[in-house]
Structure 1
Amino acid sequence: MKFKLFLTMLTLSISCFSYAETQPVSVQTNSGLKPLSGVRVSMQRMLKSGEGRYYMNLYAGIAHPHGVLTDLMNGTTVDFKGTQKGDQLDLKSVATETDSTVAGKYQLTGVLNANSGLFKATLLEAGKTAGQSIQFEPAFKVVNKPVFIFKFYGQDDANSPFGKSLKRVDVLNKNNNTVVQNLTGFTGYPNSVGYMDINFDGYYDVIVSDLSQGRTVEDKRYIYWMYNPKTQQFQRSPQLEKIVGFPNLHGEKQQIDFGNGQVYQVENGLLVRVKGDQ
């Protein structure tokens, strides 16, 4: 069967995503909130090699770093998992549902600069003595990208299966540890948040699983704070929050896959839905 692709234009501007009002730094104390420890920041780095052959989705700075390496020349992909000590990554290829032969076949080691996103790596194939040097850089580069860290606050919640809920995220400048913004007005999953470049503009955005109004993690509803470089603030995107499903990013194609056939393409600053029509 042949499938035709057609594009349905949506009224979403990628450059600003029709931002809601920015929330400034609050000087008030939120009664009942307490610091939450152990909240994992799942940061997806989209990297490309200097010569343009390789693209990599990399999750680092966590207990079990992992990633997917794509060879854009031949279209093959290899999944990696491994360890990290400081800025040193040691990843080995693992079997997938479609290919069990690659387990342990490749090793990817190198030094990752957490601030700049540069990853100086060596790819070694089993049985060979010399590895291939690969210089990775951010796939979407911007000048003077801000570097943030986060503090999390929540409250006990007897109705939550986790016993607590996330209610506030403080955004801090990593260089001087000052609070630049408070993200409030939500009820979210208390164990992790997403930190990724949703609209491929080079700036990372914050994503929280929405547990308000009786929602559960399984409902796959998310709150999006998109970074606006003009205001230098994170701003909520009501339009994105209407979409059900987790945003799986494919930076090499500049596509976002929310599941259930909901695939969107970034074109000329707009989010365009791609549908398959038999």
Structure 2
Amino acid sequence: ASTPIKNQQPSVPIQTSDLIKVNYSDLRPIQHNKVSITPHLGTWVWRDWISDDGLFFLELRTGVWNPNGTLFYLTKRGGVSVEGFQKGKDIKLKSYDAEIGLEAPSEYLIQGTLDTTLNQFLATIINTQQSSKRQTTFYPAMQTTIPQPQFYFKYYGIEDPEWHKSYITQVDVIEKSTRKVYQTLTGFTAQSYAVQYLDLNYDGYFDLKLNIGKEVSDNKTLVFLYHPESKKFIRDAFFEHT
């Protein structure tokens, strides 16, 4: 007879009824929990305005602490870059020569109040070279027959703690007057660096633009155009960079 091996356990027959049955169709990949996301640089609102005296066209990025853009002349060729500060609806700008930088003397100083309901900028313009000062209202370059809807946005998505990154996977369009969700946009994964709100198709209504590239520097975008007839944001691949 063979010599028993030390500490060997006697074999016990296993019944098939003792096995745990696994339903593999129930297995799912691990998902990140959806959380509220704040874009690092906020929601950029690009506004195109014409001054009521017909002298200027102002393209300005607002919704950030340092609004910036270009002040174009309408009665002569050229224009100047502008940059400044925004606190609430109060905006202060000064012009500068982009080739020289902010150290150059400012030709124009512009300060005023942003009217988000009418999309107007009630401003005072000071021409430092001519020592002149006047009141001006900048109104939308593209007029609309239906009033501009008043929305703000809440973003949701996933966070990657390993790479210290976050991504937007859902945008809730909130109606300002009721503070209720007006529309929900899903079906994408976008960078949380910044979101742009601007008039892409020049119909006078703001559209939504997100970066869906793997990196912030990737020029790959997702666009939702606002349609005043249906009063909805609808994805439009024509304006997207892929």
Q: Which TM-score band (shorter chain)?
A: 0.7 to 0.9
Deviation at 1:90, TM superposition (A): 1.3
Maintained 8 Å contact 1:162/1:190: no
Counterpart CA distance in 1 for 2:89 and 2:169 is 31
1:37 has 2:38 as partner: yes
Report the Cα distance in structure 2 between the residues aligned to 1:104 and 1:126, rounded to whole angstroms: 7
Q: 5+ residue gaps in structure 2?
A: 1-30
Q: TM-score, normalised by structure 2?
A: 0.79
- Alignment CA distance shift 1:187-1:95 (3 Å): same
Quick one: distance in 1 between partners of 2:39 and 2:98?
Answer: 29
Aligned residue type for 1:73: T
Query: Partner residue of 2:119?
Result: 117
TM-score calculated relative to the size of structure 1: 0.69
Structure 1 segments, 4+ long, off by >3 Å, are 98-103, 127-130
Alpha carbons 1:49, 1:136 under 8 Å: kept: yes
Residue 226 of structure 1 deviates from its aligned partner by: 0.4
Q: 1:34 Cα deviation (Å)?
A: 0.6
1:176 aligns with one of 178, 187, 190 = 178
CA contact (8 A) 1:44 1:195 kept: yes
Q: CA deviation at 1:129?
A: 4.3
Write the distance in 1 (CA, Å) between the matches of 2:239 and 2:132.
46
- Whichever of the two has the greater Rg, that structure is 2
* Counterpart mapping for 1:191-202 below 5 A: 191-202=193-204
| Deviation by residue 1:180-208 (Cα, 9 ceiling, x = unmatched) | 11110001011210100000001100000
Tell me, in whole angstroms, the C-alpha distance in 1 between the residues paired with 2:129 and 2:238: 51
- What is the root-mean-square deviation in Å for CA atoms of aligned residues? 2.3
Report the AA paired with residue 144 of structure 1.
P
1:150 aligns with 2:153: yes
| 8 Å CA contact retained: 2:200, 2:239 | no
Alpha-carbon offset, residue 231 of structure 1? 1.1
Q: Sequence identity of aligned pairs in percent?
A: 29
Does the 8 Å CA contact 1:107/1:125 hold for their aligned counterparts? yes
Query: Would the aligned equivalents of 2:37 and 2:166 in 1 still touch at CA under 8 Å?
Result: no
CA distance in 1 between partners of 2:66 and 2:101 (Å): 21
Contact map agreement 1:224 1:237 (CA 8 A) in 2: yes
The equivalent of 2:232 in structure 1 is 233
AA of the residue aligned to 1:146: P
Q: 2:191 aligns with which of 182, 189, 192?
A: 189
Which amino acid in structure 2 is aligned with residue 237 of structure 1? Answer: D
Shift of 1:218: 2.4
Query: Quick one: distance in 1 between partners of 2:197 and 2:164?
Result: 21
Match of 1:13 in 2: none
Q: Distance in 1 between matches of 2:152 and 2:61?
A: 16
Question: Residue type of the partner of 2:68?
Answer: H
* RCO higher in structure (CA 8 A, sep ≥6): 1
SS in 1 for 2:190: coil
d(CA) in 2 for partners of 1:53, 1:106: 13
| Shift in Å, 1:146 | 0.5
Q: CA deviation at 1:144?
A: 1.7
Provide, for residues 67-86 of structure 1, a one-character-per-residue CA deviation record: whole Å limited to 9, x for no partner: 21101111221111111233
Query: Any gaps of 5 or more consecutive residues in structure 1?
Result: 1-29, 245-278
1:247 aligned partner? none
Using the TM superposition, name which of 118-127 and 144-153 deviates more: 118-127
Cα distance in 1, alignment partners of residues 34 and 165 from structure 2: 14
Residues 1:170 and 1:75: Cα distance change in structure 2 (over 3 Å): same
Count of residue correspondences: 210
